[in-house]
Amino acid sequence: MINRVVVTGVGLVTPVGIGKEEFWQSLINGRSGIGKISYFDTSGYPAKIAAEVKDFDYGNYISTKEANRMDKSTQFSVVATMLAMEDSKLKFTEEDPYSIGVIIGSGIGGIGTFEKQHKVLLEKGSNRVSPFFIPMMISNISAGEIAIKIGAKGPNGVITTACASATHAIGIAFKLLQKGDTQVIISGGTEAAITPMALAGFCKMRALSIQNNNPAYASRPFDKERDGFVMGEGSGILILETLQHAKKRNANIYAEILGFGMTADAYHVTAPSPEGDSASQAMKIALEDAKIKPSQIDYINAHGTSTPLNDKLETLSIKKVFDKHAYNLKISSNKSMTGHLLGASGGVEAIATALTIKEEVIPPTINYHYPDPECDLDYVPNKAEQKLVKYALSNSFGFGGHNGVVILGKYMED
């Protein structure tokens, strides 16, 4: 038997809000979380803006002693997990610990810790490097810390496929639950890479927007004047359950996960394939996995990074899959408000997609003012739209040519 898989809880730590309500109200009201970088001096950097998480307080969930031994990316994921657990009303103490898994995505891991400890090494010597440096830095530690926090002894791991990390994590969790390897999986993504070194690297790649004088308008996916993405940070965590398990405890269901597809461009370390064939193939695989037709999709939560190449080629890949129906689709990019959360983006955007289905409201793509003839679909410009969404698709594409697609649908009884 193949199990049905549903979303029963969501937790968010994002630049546009912490917790489901604040996050969702920001999205549907088009509020940007982008501003001048406050974490360090950006003199000499071409890009001086980012989407930072504001008013983050781990105190309700993590002790100061614990927090001091966690990179910020791990702190984000643990808090987002605890928020998701509260939202799901799942009592983990009443569950078999081996039936609960944790599969998280993170593209970069503890780069902030790495930079700080490298400075300690250079300035104070090797004896002053923290004994917690390695476990704080390694990418897999978010899943490990979450499991330790709640006692989850089922499948556990972290997927690292750049900006597709969280979507791949959700897809793999979905497949494990379908097979019946476990009953509950905590999945999504986390990232905290707004650091001097990371910003310098992205600046040298010329990947970032340099609209420093107007930060809220800098991320403009699909707009003709887009000039690069804006770095973001945060975590989006979903509680995924087999339908049987969710129904047994009368859980609230946001949406059902129906399909997953992943491919590789096999083209370039950073640039997407110029024909968009592998991205479109990932969408086709997800549709086949979900056993639905392209014409049944109502909405696409786009990768939509606000870079010239990505937005053009994502549009092209959508057209290759959906043909004339592409022009009937509603498409929007949360990154216009949240910035690009890198490896965490797929988790946050999967949650946004589930909420879109549940609430029947499509968040807008803000800052869309100048149409691009190469991006000529309906990107829900600037204002949210009420719409019944039965089936939705969420895209994530990462450096290295990693493509991930998940399909979610409105939950319907057997």
- DSSP secondary structure string, 117-169? HHHHHHHH-GGGS-TTHHHHHSTTHHHHHHHHHHT--SSEEEE-BTBTHHHHH
Name every residue whose Cβ is closer than 8 Å to that of residue 333 and which is 6 or more positions away in sequence.
221, 222, 301, 302, 303, 304, 305, 306, 365, 379
pLDDT digits (tens, 9 = 90+) for 352-390: 999 999 999 999 999 999 999 999 999 999 999 999 999
Angstrom distance (rounded) from CA 227 to CA 46: 12
List the pLDDT tens digit at each of the 414 positions of the chain. 799 999 999 999 999 999 999 999 999 999 999 999 999 999 999 999 999 999 999 999 999 999 999 999 999 999 999 999 999 999 888 899 999 999 999 999 999 999 999 999 999 999 999 999 999 999 999 999 999 999 999 999 999 999 999 999 999 999 999 999 999 999 999 999 999 999 999 999 999 999 999 999 999 999 999 999 999 999 999 999 999 999 999 999 999 999 999 999 999 988 888 888 999 999 999 999 999 999 999 999 999 999 999 999 999 999 999 999 999 999 999 999 999 999 999 999 999 999 999 999 999 999 999 999 999 999 999 999 999 999 999 999 999 999 999 999 999 987
Distance between the two ends of the chain, CA-based, in angstroms?
14
Q: What is the per-residue pLDDT for 1?
A: 77
What CATH fold (topology level) applies to the domain 7-248? Answer: Peroxisomal Thiolase; Chain A, domain 1 (3.40.47)
What's the helix, strand, coil split of the chain in %, to 5? 40, 20, 40
Angstrom distance (rounded) from CA 405 to CA 257: 11
Angle at 400 between CA 271 and CA 49, to 5 degrees: 65
pLDDT digits (tens, 9 = 90+) for 54-95: 999 999 999 999 999 999 999 999 999 999 999 999 988 889
Architecture of domain 259-409: 3-Layer(aba) Sandwich (3.40)
CB 353 within 8 A of CB 166: no
Backbone angles phi, psi at 39, to 5 degrees: -75, -30
Domain boundaries, the chain: 7-248, 259-409
Residue 200 CB: number of other CB atoms within 10 A?
A: 14
Which residues are designated catalytic?
A: 163, 303, 340
Nearest C-alpha neighbor of 354 from the set 82, 3, 24:
24
Q: 7-248 and 259-409 share one CATH topology?
A: yes
Angle at 197 between CA 113 and CA 67, to 5 degrees: 20
Q: What is the per-residue pLDDT for 127?
A: 97
pLDDT digits (tens, 9 = 90+) for 152-169: 999 999 999 999 999 999
